[in-house]
Amino acid sequence: MSRHTVPGRWVTVTAGYRAFVPEPLPPRMRWSPNLVRLSAEASLLLGRLAGEGGRLPNPHAFIRPFLRREAVLSSKIEGTQATLGELLAAEAGLAVRRSPNDLREVANYVVAMEHGIKRLRSLPLSLKLVREVHEKLMRGVRGDRAAPGAFRRSQNWIGDPDSTPNTASYVPPPPDELMACLGAWETFLHDRSLPPIVQVALAHYQFEAIHPFLDGNGRVGRLLIILFLIERGVLPAPLLYLSAYFEATRPQYYRRLQRVTRHGDWEEWIEYFLTATVRMSEDVLARAAKMTARLASWRRQVAGSPRAAHRMIDVLAENPYLSAKSASKRARIAFTTAQRGIETLEKAGIVEQVAGEKRGKVYCAKPLLRILEAPPRLAAEA
């Protein structure tokens, strides 16, 4: 592949505005000592994260609430207001006041991620898979009018609601340049000359610069980070969630992306991305350890209780909200058995009722919810 320092070229279209066409990846970069150090640290922590994920007794159940946390925070960057607690409560059967559209957008993110992971078993990370993920993400929500699963055939741009291509803060490639840019991006996904975590940092920038869909580009771009790392075997499951860092440092996130486009500052962007990887790997490891310790403590607390109580603790690992109806379905046991297990946990002070009456009661293990909802611990300034 050709190496270059400039990120791309500006073209003036017939309508008079200027659009950005990124050059194929990878660029020619200066590997500063700090960049080398961060790359090694990020790779080490990803290895630890993969190791911990492999040791979990039920990785799918344990990862479930973390995936929903990523869905909430990635959607929040785009303006969705649903909280993690609201999403988890709604999944357990509790009626929440949040806009159904907001909850649907966040739930779609989970569906899109799970679809992408499943498809990786038979399909490489490709433009076809990207379209499928976008279709799952945008189906039935505000972006439904934005052609779910189809690359754009008209110009889009980034700016305030009243902006035009002439006044926008950024205009991605015009439609007649789009497929060439996407083809080069897809080719780069299969390059093996860079550390995977550096490669995905570059690929994420490029995807956002191309902006191939009319809506949903940010969420698809962040979702693809996880799919790339899983396909490369860096992670066995969706264990790394960078949206928490991007949301907490949103101005820096956008500024670093813009600096690549305007100044070719690849090193600053990659250092930011690697720092996000380090911090969020540490965050997931710490959060998972707290949850594991809490669940183990509760299992000891109900050691002499019927098996149903232990099954309900397993269910709490997936979602701190539960009802007898949702728990019986998730644990594949009778409604009355789930109900007895929940009653045991309530008497032990593990869960408390938060809504409902009789057969519609909903409970919450609030210590687990606090662990999941706590903001990430960040370094001084990204």
**Domain range annotation of the chain:** 8-33+96-282, 302-373
Distance, CA of 217 to CA of 69 (rounded, Å): 19
Interatomic CA distance for residues 309 and 326, integer angstroms: 15
Is 50 exceeded by the pLDDT of residue 380?
A: no
Answer whether 140's CB lies under 8 Å from 177's CB: no
pLDDT score for 381: 41
Q: What are the b/e assignments for 200-210, b being 16+ CB within 10 Å?
A: bbbbbbbbbbb
Instruction: State pLDDT tens for residues 343-359.
Output: 999 999 999 999 877 77
Alpha-carbon separation of residue 302 from 6, 306, 311, 312 (angstroms): 62, 8, 11, 11
pLDDT band for position 330 (50/70/90)?
confident
pLDDT of residue 36 exceeding 50: yes
pLDDT in tens, 99-139: 788 888 999 999 999 999 999 999 999 999 999 999 999 99
pLDDT of residue 45: 95
Provide the token pair at 77.
Answer: 């960057």
pLDDT of the residue at 348: 95
- Encode pLDDT of 188-215 as tens digits: 999 999 999 999 999 999 999 999 999 9
| Mean model confidence pLDDT for the chain | 91
**Residue 2: per-residue pLDDT:** 42
Indicate the pTM of the whole model.
Answer: 0.92
Assess whether the region 8-33+96-282 and the region 302-373 belong to the same CATH fold. Answer: no
CA distance 248 to 264: 24
pLDDT above 70 for 379 = no
Say how far apart CA 219 and CA 327 lie, in whole Å. Answer: 30
pLDDT for the residue numbered 131: 98
Asked whether the predicted pLDDT for residue 16 surpasses 60, the reply is: yes
What pLDDT score does 278 carry?
96
**Residue 184: partners with Cβ closer than 8 Å, 6 or more residues away:** 24, 25
Which option is the CATH number for 8-33+96-282: 1.25.40.10, 1.10.3290.10, 3.40.30.10, 3.40.50.880?
1.10.3290.10
- pLDDT of 27 reads 94
pLDDT band at 219 (very low <50, low <70, confident <90, very high): very high
Residue that is written with structure tokens 């039935």 in the block: 140
Beta strands per DSSP E along the chain: 8-12, 18-22, 321-323, 352-355, 362-364
Q: How far is CA 87 from CA 53, 75, 213, 363, in A?
A: 24, 12, 26, 14
Which amino acid, 378? L
- 42-86 per-position pLDDT tens digit: 999 999 999 887 776 666 667 888 899 999 999 998 888 888 998
Q: Which of 3.40.50.300, 1.10.600.10, 3.40.47.10, 1.10.10.10 would CATH assign to domain 302-373?
A: 1.10.10.10
Exposure b/e, 345-376, CB count within 10 A at least 16 = b: beeeebbeeebbeeeebbbbbbbbbebbeeeb
* Rounded-to-integer distance, Cα 83 and Cα 91, Å: 13
Q: What's the pLDDT score for residue 144? A: 61
CA torsion 253-257-262-266 (nearest 10°) is 110
Helices and strands (H, E) in the chain, number of each type: 15, 5
DSSP state for residue 360 in the 8-state scheme: G
